[in-house]
């Protein structure tokens, strides 16, 4: 079997950097696409192909039920926000939900102060969980996978991270909800989204904040990238705004160059785990990088990766 992560990265080339304020996005371009049909979660919700609910009347903080009523596979992306029901959650990994199926997916709570019904089922939001929050959660989920074969996170750590985002922005949230943070910053986030555009062959981006490499997200299909592009830019911008206040000048450059980061991810050892949905979840970890890739039949659907430790800065970051 070919290494699907290394094969995928070998087909990636870097585009011209786009910059707004202290956020730099380097397009990841690829001519090939995976030969697999699926829809994104947002599209499935818009077409009413899927329903996401609590697992029962009592609910369970780390679990949600996904009912796919359609003949299409549905891609849920690591860090996608699920809003409503008894409390807001985020997906703990990327999952491909099979056609006409019911699955229970592992999630994390991003609203510590609510455990009461707001709606029967969940909707999606126009944002994803913030970049460094996703990195932290990926680290803990990888540890749980290796120790217990479970897609769990350190829920206390997630709540602590949400509290820091709320505090750093001066956001009052009666239920300690992360959604209230990006609602307060809606106009600022919209300006970031408007400043960036997608190229014809773009499948993802590499992210730099204050000149420092922070990570990457990339997909097997261009249409997937175009669909989630605004949500992901908001995710990156949330951290850029926080870092802008703390580190007004560039912090000295990235520890890894974009080319070096791609090479480090491609060469890193990987461990495969059965996904909750279809495919395999490859966990990537070295002293330099940490990441995860969802793969089905040697086709890479989503790859996310970060420098192993938060990039050092001149002043302690709030998040």
Closest CA to 39 of 172, 195, 223, 201: 223
Question: Which pLDDT value is given to residue 141?
Answer: 97
Percent of the chain with pLDDT over 70: 93
> How many Å from the N-terminal Cα to the C-terminal Cα in the chain?
40
Instruction: Give the model's confidence band at 308: pLDDT under 50 very low, under 70 low, under 90 confident, else very high.
Output: confident
Q: Under a CB-based contact definition with an 8 Å cutoff, are residues 68 and 49 in contact?
A: yes
DSSP per residue, 10-33: HT-EE---EEETTEEEEEEE-S--
Question: Which pLDDT value is given to residue 317?
Answer: 42
Mind listing the pLDDT tens digit for each residue in 55-67?
Answer: 999 999 999 999 9
Residue 254 pLDDT more than 60?
Answer: no
Question: Which pLDDT value is given to residue 2?
Answer: 77
Residue 315 pLDDT more than 70?
Answer: no
Average pLDDT of the segment spanning 124-151: 95
Question: Which pLDDT value is given to residue 1?
Answer: 55
Instruction: In whole angstroms, give the CA distance from residue 202 to residue 208.
Output: 17
Question: Which pLDDT value is given to residue 252?
Answer: 44
DSSP per residue, 58-94: S--TTEEEEEE-SSS-EEE-TTEEEEETTS-EEESS-
Residue 162 pLDDT more than 60?
Answer: yes
Q: Under a CB-based contact definition with an 8 Å cutoff, are residues 86 and 75 in contact?
A: no
Average pLDDT of the segment spanning 153-173: 93
Choice between 172 and 318, residue whose per-residue pLDDT is larger: 172
Q: Under a CB-based contact definition with an 8 Å cutoff, are residues 192 and 234 in contact?
A: yes
Question: Which pLDDT value is given to residue 5?
Answer: 94
Instruction: Give the model's confidence band at 313: pLDDT under 50 very low, under 70 low, under 90 confident, else very high.
Output: very low
Instruction: Give the model's confidence band at 170: pLDDT under 50 very low, under 70 low, under 90 confident, else very high.
Output: confident
Residues near 203 by Cβ (< 8 Å), separated by ≥ 6? 12, 28, 29, 30, 218, 219, 220, 221, 222, 224, 225
Instruction: Give the model's confidence band at 318: pLDDT under 50 very low, under 70 low, under 90 confident, else very high.
Output: very low
Mind listing the pLDDT tens digit for each residue in 181-239?
Answer: 999 999 999 999 999 999 999 999 999 999 999 999 999 999 999 999 999 999 999 99
Question: Which pLDDT value is given to residue 247?
Answer: 58
Q: Under a CB-based contact definition with an 8 Å cutoff, are residues 54 and 85 in contact?
A: yes
Residue 310 pLDDT more than 70?
Answer: no
Question: Which pLDDT value is given to residue 242?
Answer: 86
Average pLDDT of the segment spanning 264-272: 95
Record the pTM: 0.92
Average pLDDT of the segment spanning 52-57: 96
Question: Which pLDDT value is given to residue 161?
Answer: 95
Question: Which pLDDT value is given to residue 9?
Answer: 96
Residue 290 pLDDT more than 50?
Answer: yes
Average pLDDT of the segment spanning 255-261: 88
As a whole number, the mean pLDDT across the chain is 92
Please identify which residue in the block is written with the tokens 């039920």: 65
Question: Which pLDDT value is given to residue 117?
Answer: 97
Residue 228 sits at φ, ψ, to 5 deg, of -100, -5
The helix-helix angle for 155-169 and 222-246 (nearest 10°) equals 60
């Amino acid at each position: 079997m070919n290494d699907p992560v290394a094969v995928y990265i070998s087909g990636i080339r870097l585009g011209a950097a786009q910059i707004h304020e202290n956020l730099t996005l380097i397009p990841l371009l690829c001519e090939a696409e995976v030969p697999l049909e699926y829809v994104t979660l947002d599209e499935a919700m818009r077409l009413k192909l899927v329903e996401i609910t609590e697992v029962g009347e009592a609910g369970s903080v780390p679990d949600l039920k996904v009912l796919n009523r359609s003949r299409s596979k549905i891609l849920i992306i690591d860090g996608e926000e699920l809003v409503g029901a008894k409390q807001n959650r985020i997906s703990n990994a990327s999952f491909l939900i099979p056609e006409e199926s019911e699955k229970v997916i592992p999630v994390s709570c991003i609203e510590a102060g609510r455990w009461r019904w707001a709606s029967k089922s969940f909707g999606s939001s126009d944002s994803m969980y913030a970049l460094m929050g996703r990195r932290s959660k990926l680290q803990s989920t990888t540890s749980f996978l290796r120790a217990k074969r479970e897609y769990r996170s350190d829920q206390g750590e997630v709540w602590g991270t949400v509290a820091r985002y709320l505090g750093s922005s001066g956001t009052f949230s009666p239920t300690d909800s992360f959604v209230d943070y990006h609602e307060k910053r809606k106009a600022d986030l919209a300006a970031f989204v408007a400043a960036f555009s997608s190229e014809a062959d773009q499948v993802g981006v590499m992210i730099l904040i204050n000149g420092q490499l922070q990570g990457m997200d990339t997909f097997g299909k261009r249409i997937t990238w175009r669909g989630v592009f605004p949500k992901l830019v908001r995710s990156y911008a949330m951290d850029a705004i926080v870092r802008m206040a703390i580190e007004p000048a560039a912090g000295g450059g990235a520890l890894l160059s974009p080319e070096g980061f791609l090479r480090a991810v491609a060469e890193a050892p990987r461990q495969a785990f059965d996904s909750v949905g279809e495919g395999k979840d490859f966990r990537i970890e070295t002293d330099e990088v940490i990441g995860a890739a969802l793969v089905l039949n040697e086709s890479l659907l989503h790859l996310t990766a970060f420098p192993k430790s938060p990039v050092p800065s001149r002043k302690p970051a709030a998040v």
